[in-house]
Structure 1
């Protein structure tokens, strides 16, 4: 996956500063119909709540390496996103599901004090979505109190953090039962069917081990909603060939016979 500009920052973010009324009391936030920050990113973090919606459009895989996270694949090759054009506009008349990780930008909750658990609403100042301009939604009222728009942003980021915590619990369950395996998919080429493109660099649920789980464990997962999430992931994998076909159609197919997704875990 494309690396964050700085090791300490999540994907998309170049810098982070806290939002405050003293420095940003007269700033506004713009609404846009394009997401240029997504263009060169092919693997977007997902929370478990998003699986039912995301699996209709994207393969859902898990990042390689330690601390795996769920990812929506918008392309199979590094830097390729088949759902957005070079300016960040959706390519389809009916846009795909847009993951919350994309919609959250340029805001997020972050710790300002490493010794405290308190989180503050921060933003990326290099983004042109927020600034001292006339159009857009006010971030603070005349009395320097957060506007309703800012309260909504804070609530969205808080819900994202809560969903992230539930996603971590989901991943811990998969790891505890040793259900994740290194993934591999071979996609046949129309010109050379005996020389398929092979994609690696991601993780997926091991279906054989899933079938071997005890009935009481599967029943528990079915009752708490974890089992449907696993099936959403498994069913979505068929979309890899659809993504590959879109890459070829857009002239963004891989040049070599083997291509690694490099779906490594970003900081979220």
Structure 2
């Protein structure tokens, strides 16, 4: 099955976001944030962007792969089939131990450019989110016309995320410059089918080329801290079969899963 990064909506917003508004002391003075215990927007998302800051923790729970194409990004595979996320129930609540990427935890907030001719980023939010609004109960976003402690914390989280995303982009660029990324393929043989299920359409580090690195290049990736990140990615690929088996157990395997642009090859 081809694993593809979900495409952005037609309005060119990042995945999960339906709309974006800049947070304003005038327009949102009475807005509050309330906690939500589910993420229904995540139930049909099988691949979620991941930063390198999260590799070491995330690799214990799910495979880390790289999206296909020239501009690869790391993705945490929360399911192998399009539209399947094994870590959430149908209501969007966690089934058990899992790693929730910072990309998800950031929602409905994000830093965005309000004008294409400016590099300045503004704190924005998705107004369709049930977590934010002019509620009677919740934590205020503003106090005495100034950002509340909660809003300041949100801004810091989003700033940290942008910095991690920049480091991640540099990490992928280094992998590509050293020609360490290759097209990936995973074959899973199961009793439910005569032929193995073959998953393609993603990229991974080429272990053979990694072993052949010598001298300056090897010292570079070792001293820069890239090496443990690369191995976290490679070790995580062993979880492919576990994710596959969880899908089968949940009745969401490639035979049960809804038809998608990418299908498993039997």
* Fold-level similarity (TM above 0.5): yes
Q: CA deviation at 1:7?
A: 4.5
1:195 match: 195
1:173 match: 174
Return the alpha-carbon distance in structure 1 between the equivalents of residues 29 and 260 of structure 2: 46
The correspondence of residues 88-167 of structure 1 with structure 2, limited to 5 A, is 88-92=92-96, 95-141=97-143, 143-167=144-168
Deviates more, 1:217-226 or 1:131-140: 217-226
Q: CA deviation at 1:216?
A: 3.1
2:251 match: 251
Could you list the per-position Cα deviations for residues 157-212 of structure 1 after superposition, in whole angstroms to 9, with x for gaps in the alignment?
000000000001100100001111111101001133x4000101110011111111
Q: Retained in 2: the 8 A contact 1:76–1:261?
A: no
Return the alpha-carbon distance in structure 1 between the equivalents of residues 127 and 235 of structure 2: 39
- One of 50, 64, 71 as aligned partner of 1:67: 71
The reply on whether 1:185 has 2:186 as its aligned counterpart is yes
SS in 2 for 1:24: coil
Return the alpha-carbon distance in structure 1 between the equivalents of residues 33 and 27 of structure 2: 14
TM-score (norm 1): 0.92
2:214 match: 214
SS in 2 for 1:253: coil
SS in 2 for 1:157: helix
Count of aligned pairs between the two proteins? 256
Q: Retained in 2: the 8 A contact 1:77–1:261?
A: no
Return the alpha-carbon distance in structure 2 between the equivalents of residues 172 and 113 of structure 1: 27
SS in 1 for 2:240: helix
User: 5+ unaligned residues in a row in structure 2: which ranges?
Assistant: none
Change over 3 Å in CA distance of 1:240–1:260 after alignment to 2: farther
Change over 3 Å in CA distance of 1:166–1:34 after alignment to 2: same
SS in 2 for 1:61: strand
Q: CA deviation at 1:3?
A: 2.7
Return the alpha-carbon distance in structure 2 between the equivalents of residues 161 and 173 of structure 1: 19
RMSD between aligned alpha carbons? 1.6
2:13 match: 9
1:226 match: 226
TM-score (norm 2): 0.93
SS in 1 for 2:142: coil
Return the alpha-carbon distance in structure 2 between the equivalents of residues 128 and 191 of structure 1: 41
User: 5+ unaligned residues in a row in structure 1: which ranges?
Assistant: 263-268
Return the alpha-carbon distance in structure 2 between the equivalents of residues 31 and 172 of structure 1: 37
Q: CA deviation at 1:260?
A: 8.5
Runs of 4+ in 1 over 2 A off after TM superposition: 1-7, 259-262
Q: Retained in 2: the 8 A contact 1:109–1:122?
A: yes
2:33 match: 29
Could you list the per-position Cα deviations for residues 98-126 of structure 1 after superposition, in whole angstroms to 9, with x for gaps in the alignment?
11000000000000011111000000111
SS in 1 for 2:198: strand
Could you list the per-position Cα deviations for residues 62-99 of structure 1 after superposition, in whole angstroms to 9, with x for gaps in the alignment?
0011210000000000000000011110011xx31111
Return the alpha-carbon distance in structure 1 between the equivalents of residues 17 and 155 of structure 2: 18
Deviates more, 1:1-10 or 1:41-50: 1-10
